[in-house]
Amino acid sequence: MRYALHAEWTKARTVAGPAWLLLAVALLTIGLGAVVAEASALASSASAALAAHQSEDGVKLTLGGVQLSQAVVAILAVQAVSGEYATGMIRSTLTAIPRRGVALAAKACVTVGLACAAAVPAVFGAFLLGRAILVGHGYTQAAGYPAMALTAASTLRATLGSVLYLALIALLSMGIAVLVRESAIAIGAVLALLYLFPLLAHVVSDPVWQRHLLQIGPMSAGLLVQNTTGVSTLPLSPWAGLGVLAAWAAAAVAAGAFALRRRDA
Amino acid sequence: MTDLDLARPAPTASYRSTLPPSRAGFAQLVHAELTKFRTVRGWSLGLVGAVVFMVLMSLSGGHNGGNCVNGVCSAGPSDPTYAPSGIPVTDGFYFVHQTLDGDGSITVRIAAMTDTLSPAGPHEPAPNPGAAETWGKAGIILKTSLTPGSAYAAVLATSGHGVRMQYDYTHDIAGSSAAATQDDPRWLRLTRSGEVITGYESADGSNWTELGTATLPGLGTSVQAGMFAASPEYSQNTQLLGGLESSAYNSTASARMDHVALQGDWPQGAWTGTAFDYGTGSYAADSGDGTDADTAYVVSGSGDIAPEAGLQDTSQIAESGAFLALIVLTVLATQFVTAEFKHRLLGPTMAASPRRGRLLAAKSLVVGTAAFTVGLVASAIAVPLFDRMWPAGALYKVGALTEARVVLGISLLLAVFAVLAVAVGVIVRRSAVVITTVLVLAVLPYLLAVGSLLPGGAADWLLRVTPAAGFAIAQTIPVYPQVDGIYQPWGGYYPLAPWAGFAVLCAYAALALGAAWLVLRRRDVTA
């Protein structure tokens, strides 16, 4: 396993693609988060009367960039697998590491590790910058707003949960990529899975179905972990939502592993 | 024969095929590209899949027009009322009327007008100080009949927008901007002459200004005319961090009207007070001896006479189905380009057709046509099916022209996104990056705008400057300045007009095609 990990790390390290993608994850998360925070702060005005309100979730706003950067994480994970199939490298990989489960596990470890390496600075950078913007617009503790302290339990859940969210997106994308091999179809499937449930929920008029769609969608459920206020009104509790995404990711990786064992390379 | 003869090769004519030379025009190039597209089984299946997905997703959308509880959907938004022009309208007010035959005119003086708010439910907070409904209406109205949705013309004072003449729900002509008060009362007059109704206003009852004329469809000899009052539901919107909060309030317009006079063929008769359709209200003779000339009437009412805002209709189903088809078609269009790079097919392709701009055009044409066909076929299946799923009258039905525009527009939208994918594919070449770029540009602005993450203004900008602006092509209900509403993307309103939004998307595709053409010309095929 150590050699398998080392091999995967070398593969990821020695091409330019992953480094650029990781940089994009960080920049997009921080950039879009800052834009959302600035736009929201300009559109409303800080006041003590509104401060107690449940909809006022500053932490969630600052983490809005994750909705964009998750697509880049998906590219990273899909390329890690499909790139090998496209170039035929997969045959060398499986010759060197004939135990396919081990090869897949090593690839998953390296990909998820890379995703986390980008997600930690991205998420915490977005939170700190977004909080500075909101405080600059008067959303301060003195005005009656929650302090948005980094050490508060709800803030930690939102930020660490977002890092986990991106890691799980990487796993989900990898599982699907192993299953279908072709990068175009894999990324199409991943993006459809992520974006379709919230789109459908917007389209159906029945509130019960709407709620169910938001509960089972990997993106809509997983991102619930970012909520810090009004938690009781959510379709699922924040951690349960992330659990739904974890279940999707586990199912995708299991299906991928099964296919990899049964199939010719 | 000498040795020398043997050493020298016999002179032969250079080889020439006996087949006639084939033409190498654009038509042949398109045919070649079409053959490539057609003969990859996965791509043909993908097209069929796109149609199936689009139909299924269309049918899942009941949209905000219907009332669904626990999966059981009933007839739509509280029995839609339709105007003679076919658009959905709201037609509720308090009507103090009588039946009048032939030509004549009605005149009143509005001596005072107020509009008051009351919370719609026991849990609603009190309205903000200074909050007021500005479209409370009181004045005189002439209707063709007592059927809700029938044609009308009215001259009215409003609680915040001065005197107006309004007719047939969508027409709104501004008069003087003064509010009707005790110190500065407003005189209003409606005159009927044949089919033509003319509205006037005056500050003193002797110098009259014409506001406008209306020709009402289906106007018989008998009409219903008299005084009315109405005031729409007031919604107080508070922009919070990450969402808009709305509280609803009932509002009631109340006006004191005197100097009521009927002229021409119209005799003085007794007035009847009616809460028209869903409207509520009351009227009372406030003072005087009972003759109209000497009596002041106080008329109060809630409701509105206006086009219905914020409701969606059957034509939107094509839009809701488009997203899934868009994902499939983007994958197909991208593969159509990137597969040439991956399988080193571009070398032979370029050798056969060295003019690279033409190649790009041929690929775009083939993929765009395929995507357009998917949109048309899916709509042709989904629209009739959708109509059958819902009880008659449950959803608003837009005119045939609007429906055709939406179906055609959505099909064109799919085609342009597919061409955009081709162009980005030529530039970027890595399919995962291409597909993500196109889909994120198409879907994410829409999701951010309809979700609660971005405030209305920012969401509007997002749908103006990104390719997602193209979805405006599906907008069917216009924005009416005389109706207060939350005209935001999540209500089905786009900041750009349908074809303007589509033009933004086309501009992106054109820019990408231009860049792709430059890149294709400058780059080595095998690089």
pLDDT of B203-262, one tens digit each? 988 999 999 999 987 788 899 999 999 999 888 777 777 667 777 888 999 999 988 999
How far apart are the CA of A57 and the nearest CA of chain B, in angstroms?
6
B142 φ/ψ angles, rounded to the nearest 5 degrees: -130, 120
Rounded percentage of chain B residues whose pLDDT exceeds 70: 86
Are A43 and B331 inside 8 Å of each other by CB?
no
Tokens in use for B290?
């009972």
Tokens in use for B296?
């002041």
Q: Which residue has the higher pLDDT, B518 or A40?
A: B518
Tell me: pLDDT of B68 over 50: no
Helices marked H in B196-345: 316-342
Mean pLDDT of all residues in A238-263:
94
Which residues in chain A touch residue B69, judged by CB atoms under 8 angstroms apart? 206-208
Are A204 and B239 inside 8 Å of each other by CB?
no
pLDDT, tens digit, 9 for 90 and up, residues B245-263: 777 888 999 999 988 999 8
Angle between helix A207-216 and helix A238-262 axes, rounded to 10 deg: 60
Specify which of A45-59, B25-39, B231-245, B506-520 reaches the highest per-range mean pLDDT: B506-520
- Please tell me the predicted confidence (pLDDT) of residue B64: 42
Q: Which residues of A105-142 are buried (b: 16+ CB within 10 A; e: fewer)?
A: bbbbebbbebbeebbbebbbbbbbbbbebbbebebeee
For A79, the domain range is 2-262
- Please tell me the predicted confidence (pLDDT) of residue A32: 93
- Please tell me the predicted confidence (pLDDT) of residue A110: 94
If 0-12 CB within 10 Å is exposed, 13-18 middle and 19+ buried, where does residue B402 land?
middle
How far apart are the CA of A228 and the nearest CA of chain B, in angstroms?
12
Residue B290: which pLDDT band, with cuts at 50, 70 and 90?
low
Question: By three-state DSSP, how is residue A124 classified?
Answer: helix
Kindly state whether B282 is in contact with chain A, defined as any CB-CB distance less than 8 angstroms.
no
Q: Are B169 and B86 in contact (CB under 8 A)?
A: no
Total count of residues recorded for chain A? 265
Mean pLDDT of all residues in B346-372:
88
Nearest to B260 by CA among B297, B227, B293, B213: B293
Mutate: best of A73, A180, A183, A196, partner B, most B CBs <10 A:
A183
Query: Which of A50, A68, A75 comes nearest B432 by C-beta?
Result: A75
Total count of residues recorded for chain B? 527
- Please tell me the predicted confidence (pLDDT) of residue B346: 82
Q: Which residues contact A148 (CB under 8 A, 6 or more apart)?
A: A58, A59, A131, A134, A155
Q: How far apart are CA A192 and CA B185, in angstroms?
A: 62
Strand partners, B204: none
Specify which of A50-54, A83-87, A129-133, A151-155 reaches the highest per-range mean pLDDT: A129-133
DSSP A219: H
Tell me: pLDDT of A214 over 60: yes
Q: How far apart are CA B251 and CA B236, in angstroms?
A: 12
Q: Which residues contact B40 (CB under 8 A, 6 or more apart)?
A: B339
Q: Which residue has the higher pLDDT, A2 or B67?
A: A2
Mean pLDDT of all residues in B304-332:
77
How many CB contacts within 8 angstroms connect chain A with chain B? 157
Are B62 and A205 inside 8 Å of each other by CB?
yes
Are A79 and B241 inside 8 Å of each other by CB?
no
CA distances from B300 to B107, B161, B273 (A): 18, 18, 11
CA angle, residues B139, B140, B141, in degrees to nearest 5? 130
Q: How far apart are CA A178 and CA A193, in angstroms?
A: 16
Rounded percentage of chain A residues whose pLDDT exceeds 90: 54
Tokens in use for B385?
């099916």
Q: How far apart are CA A33 and CA A63, in angstroms?
A: 6
Q: How far apart are CA B272 and CA B293, in angstroms?
A: 17
DSSP B247: E
Mutate: best of B60, B63, B74, B241, partner A, most A CBs <10 A:
B241
Mutate: best of A191, A220, A227, partner B, most B CBs <10 A:
A191
Mean pLDDT of all residues in A120-130:
95
Residue A53: which pLDDT band, with cuts at 50, 70 and 90?
low
- Please tell me the predicted confidence (pLDDT) of residue B76: 43
Which residues in chain A touch residue B451, judged by CB atoms under 8 angstroms apart? 198
- Please tell me the predicted confidence (pLDDT) of residue B495: 86
How far apart are the CA of B237 and the nearest CA of chain A, in angstroms?
11
- Please tell me the predicted confidence (pLDDT) of residue A54: 52
DSSP A205: -
Q: How far apart are CA B448 and CA B443, in angstroms?
A: 9
Nearest to A165 by CA among A18, A78, A37, A64: A64
Tell me: pLDDT of B490 over 50: yes
DSSP assignment string, B380-431: HHHHHHHHHHS-TTSSB---HHHHHHHHHHHHHHHHHHHHHHHHHHHHH--H
Kindly state whether B326 is in contact with chain A, defined as any CB-CB distance less than 8 angstroms.
no
Provide CATH 2.60.120 ranges for chain B. Answer: 81-307
For chain A, how many structural domains are there in total?
1
CA distances from B322 to A261, B55, B402, B407 (A): 37, 9, 17, 10
How far apart are the CA of A248 and the nearest CA of chain B, in angstroms?
20
Are A202 and B239 inside 8 Å of each other by CB?
no
Which residues in chain A touch residue B432, judged by CB atoms under 8 angstroms apart? 74-75, 78-79, 82, 183-184, 186-187
Tokens in use for A35?
């834009």
- Please tell me the predicted confidence (pLDDT) of residue B457: 77
Query: What's the topology of domain B81-307?
Result: Jelly Rolls (2.60.120)
- Please tell me the predicted confidence (pLDDT) of residue B216: 86
Element (H, E) at A210: helix A207-216
Pick the range with the lowest mean pLDDT from A173-177, B205-209, B450-454, B492-496: B450-454
Pick the range with the lowest mean pLDDT from A252-256, B285-289, B511-515: B285-289
pLDDT averaged over every residue in chain B: 83
Kindly state whether B490 is in contact with chain A, defined as any CB-CB distance less than 8 angstroms.
yes
Residue B70: which pLDDT band, with cuts at 50, 70 and 90?
very low
Are A68 and B458 inside 8 Å of each other by CB?
no
B75 φ/ψ angles, rounded to the nearest 5 degrees: -55, 150
